[in-house]
Amino acid sequence: MRLYHATRSPREARLLVPADDYETLRRRFAWRVPPRYNIGVDACDRQRPDADALVVVREDGRADRLGFGWVARQSNRLANAMAASGVRRGDRVAVLLGQAPETALAHLAAFKLGAISVPLFVLFGEEALEYRLRDSGATLLVTDVANWPKVAALRERLPGLRTAIVAGGRGIDGTLDLDAACERASDAFDAADTAADDPAIIIYTSGTTGPPKGALHAHRVLLGHLPGVEMPQRMFPQPGDLFWTPADWAWIGGLFDVLLPAWHHGVPVVARRAARFDPEEAFALMARHGVRNAFLPPTVLKMLRQAGGGRRPGLALRSIGSGGETLGAELLDWGRSTFGVTINEFYGQTECNLVVANDADLMEVRPGSMGRAVPGHRVGIVDAGGNELPDGEAGEIAVLRPDPVMFLGYWNDEAATRAKFAGDWLLTGDVGRRDPDGYLWYQGRGDDVITSAGYRIGPAEIEDCLLRHPAVAMAAAIGVPDELRTEVVKACIVLKPGVAPGDGLAREIQDHVRRRLAAHEYPRLVEFVDALPLTATGKVMRRVLRERHAARRNQGDVT
């Protein structure tokens, strides 16, 4: 089937067939996954060479534009350099870089070689890096001068890591300088003839429920992501689209929610390497460069909201997607007033991403719901045995295999892979319910669900209610032990700037939740904190909050 052409039109590249409503969209959908497929070839070699691929924003705000032709040639040079260093098909290539052209080139080069890329987050410390490099068995690492010292400190403990290619690394002993290696290499490369099911990338989980596990994905994972990008980004792509996310490209949200799907469609992506997220800078970047499409995680949205200021001049966003934590009515209303569009929430996880989404153009967006199953994915609510539960009943959110976006398994962990499934249902570990209209409602991680006086309480609804209080900037709800009720709800709250904590404010917040939800759901304990513990991808680590509470309780600091 003709799918990939040098001058593909959006109609040829897009998997979703435009429709006026969700049911028609779902009914028209059919997967188109060719038996032979390579992400590296698809993402750059099939695009118009003169079309913009990257808009690289410097610290002073100026931008460099790089075309798909440049990306194709440079990724070929890097693939040749990797091959000359001994990288072979199936070898693991680690990529320790932020949002930069070299990051994309390293992944594409690995894909073209038939190697397996391993994205690594630049904020990882030595212990986190050593674990992932050792577990994956990476033989080559691509990094830069800023991150090289962390790897140099542990290299002796990683005998399998044979080669390091360092951007800007001229003169560093025991490494190859990236620019010099590419200058010596040819810009022609015959990409490996990979099957769609051949392994392409290992993305490590955030480690919210134990040691990080490497989710091994096949080349088809890019095609599997497309409907889940196209739907919440309002039938992406459209003429003039330009995509940006502050999410790091080391995570599935940065690579497969934004960069690679955009390049499949020939849409340019903004790259901005920032030491930390600055809300005002983010607003200015989107306005200055005419960003049309964005993936903004909930934590980012909350930080933007904290910056205040109402509708910002110059913003021209056509679509905003968000995922990772449940959005509530307050954030949705703020998004409409600030950006002029409805933020479309979506859902997925590293092992099986973008399987549920909203699209306000096609269906009602119900605050608190993560949407309906993206066309092409079968999402259900099941019990521990993998039996699908009726609408309205809480259970584990699950995805039926086979599915192009689903992982191949956990790297070096067959037992964990088996435990991830109940029959043909992939178990997400998240608790939720489906209503009669097919909307799915996230209630929390399985270990985040609070059991109080016989009630099972998900933290998401409580946190949404807490965020509607005018004093609250961020909030997390956890269950803590209680002799009478098994557990009670505790709220850990970050206040807005200028708001002073106190017993009176705590009682006011408790009453705010009691009036709006239910007596058994209001937080009987309120703790004001300076910050919430977050994973590297911005998800609240409620487990850490529970552990902190338990430690203080053992010391007699709390009841």
pLDDT of residue 9: 55
Give residue-wise pLDDT tens across range 122-161.
Answer: 888 888 899 899 999 999 999 999 999 999 999 999 999 9
* Whether residue 4 has pLDDT greater than 50: no
**Of the listed ranges 22-26, 46-50, 230-234, 485-489, the one predicted with least confidence:** 485-489
pLDDT of residue 279: 93
Residue 53's pLDDT band, with cuts at 50, 70 and 90, is very high
Q: What is the DSSP string of 101-135?
A: HHHHHHHHHHHHHT-EEEEE-TT--HHHHHHHHHH
389 to each of 238, 366, 383, 419, 435, how far by Cα in Å?
39, 22, 7, 20, 11
Residues 6 and 48 sit within 8 Å (Cβ to Cβ):
yes
Give residue-wise pLDDT tens across range 310-332.
Answer: 788 899 999 999 997 788 888 99
> Edge-to-edge, what's the strand order for the sheet holding 140-144?
176-177, 163-167, 140-144, 92-96, 116-120, 199-204, 214-218, 409-410
pLDDT of residue 514: 84
Give residue-wise pLDDT tens across range 483-538.
Answer: 777 789 999 999 999 999 999 999 999 999 888 877 778 899 999 999 999 877 77
In this structure, the number of other CB atoms found within 10 A of the CB of residue 406 comes to 23
Residue 5's pLDDT band, with cuts at 50, 70 and 90, is very low
**Cα 439 to Cα 432: distance, rounded to the nearest angstrom:** 10
pLDDT of residue 472: 95
pLDDT of residue 453: 65
Average of per-residue pLDDT values in the chain: 92
* Whether residue 62 has pLDDT greater than 70: yes
- Is the Cα torsion angle 553, 557, 558, 559 positive or negative in sign? positive
pLDDT of residue 291: 98
**Cα 331 to Cα 309: distance, rounded to the nearest angstrom:** 15
Task: Tell me the average pLDDT across 430-445.
Answer: 91
* Whether residue 211 has pLDDT greater than 80: no
Extract the tokens encoding 90: 């199936």
Residue 199's pLDDT band, with cuts at 50, 70 and 90, is very high
Same fold, 33-41+65-219 and 448-554: no
- Please tell us whether the domain made up of 33-41+65-219 is placed in CATH 3.40.50.2300: no
pLDDT of residue 2: 24
Domain boundaries, the chain: 33-41+65-219, 448-554
Give residue-wise pLDDT tens across range 170-193.
Answer: 989 999 999 999 999 999 999 999
What is the CATH superfamily name and number for domain 448-554? ANL, C-terminal domain (3.30.300.30)
Residue 461's pLDDT band, with cuts at 50, 70 and 90, is confident
Give residue-wise pLDDT tens across range 82-132.
Answer: 999 999 999 999 999 999 999 999 999 999 999 999 999 988 888 889 989
β-pair type (140-144, 92-96): parallel
* Whether residue 456 has pLDDT greater than 70: no
pLDDT of residue 6: 35
pLDDT of residue 285: 96
Residue 445's pLDDT band, with cuts at 50, 70 and 90, is confident
The DSSP code for 388 is: B
In this structure, the number of other CB atoms found within 10 A of the CB of residue 207 comes to 14
pLDDT of residue 451: 73
β-pair type (352-357, 344-349): antiparallel
Residue 454's pLDDT band, with cuts at 50, 70 and 90, is low
Residue 207's pLDDT band, with cuts at 50, 70 and 90, is low
pLDDT of residue 489: 94
pLDDT of residue 515: 82
